[in-house]
Homo-oligomer: A and B are copies of this chain.
């Protein structure tokens, strides 16, 4: 069921697909290629917006600091994803932060060029607005998972989503490679407690771990946690 994954996918990799060839040409012309080192930020909460970014290679985490200061990761961007447009369309400051999980290759479009592009191509502006509404729904779905599911179920869901995300876009690997801190942060638990759940999954043959990379070995068993109807469940085992 494609639907299951779409509920948790921003789909911001498809934004520039709305452009025709002439428009694409303009976009390409104003794009600036940047190389960003692992651990550095593309933008940060409270900063003045400089433009938008499209990831061409690598992964980045999007997070927000709650009122008590701890970071909360709520999305991971991969190849082709566009980010940073919320602040350009509406807010005067970035509302969240984005940090490279590994060395990145990024296309940058400055604020003025992006606004010009939006202005010249109403279809694109419409698509961006529509996408923000879609992303709103993704966050609502994330809230539902965090509020309703126990830890093992949350882990199962995130493993499914992350494997798809990483497989889809990073040809060379189907494994899930995240620090235990980042993964536990997303799932809403401590890294030690996440470790316990991972061990349970390992012991029942659902996953294997090499170095820190998690490989799903028994997708059907993982899906059992999701309590989907059997038709949807079957559709997810590809």
Which residues of A are interface residues toward B (Cβ below 8 A)? 3-4, 7, 64-68, 70, 72, 74, 86-87, 89-91, 95-96, 126, 129-137, 139-148, 185-188, 226-228, 232
Contacts and interface: CB of A to CB of B under 8 A. Distances in A.
B132 A133 contact: yes
Contacts of A227: 68
A72 B68 CA distance: 24
Contacts of A141: 64, 66-67
13 contacts: A3-B67, A64-B137, A68-B226, A72-B143, A72-B144, A72-B147, A72-B148, A90-B133, A91-B134, A96-B140, A147-B185, A147-B186, A147-B187
Given A67-B7, A68-B226, A96 B146 contact: no
B72 A140 contact: yes
- Max chain B Cβ within 10 angstroms of own Cβ: one of A3, A64, A140, A188: A140
Interface SS of A by simple majority: helix
A74 B87 CA distance: 23
A140 B64 contact: yes
B130 A90 contact: yes
Contacts of A87: 133
Nearest to A64: B140
Given A4-B67, A89-B129, A188-B147, A136 B137 contact: no
A70 B140 CA distance: 13
A133 B91 contact: yes
A136 B86 contact: yes
Nearest to A125: B129
Given A68-B228, A146-B143, A228-B67, A136 B135 contact: yes
Contacts of A130: 89-91
Contacts of A132: 90, 129, 132-133, 136
A64 B132 CA distance: 17
The 8 tightest CB contacts between A and B, nearest first, are: A90-B130, A147-B188, A72-B144, A66-B144, A90-B133, A139-B139, A146-B146, A95-B137
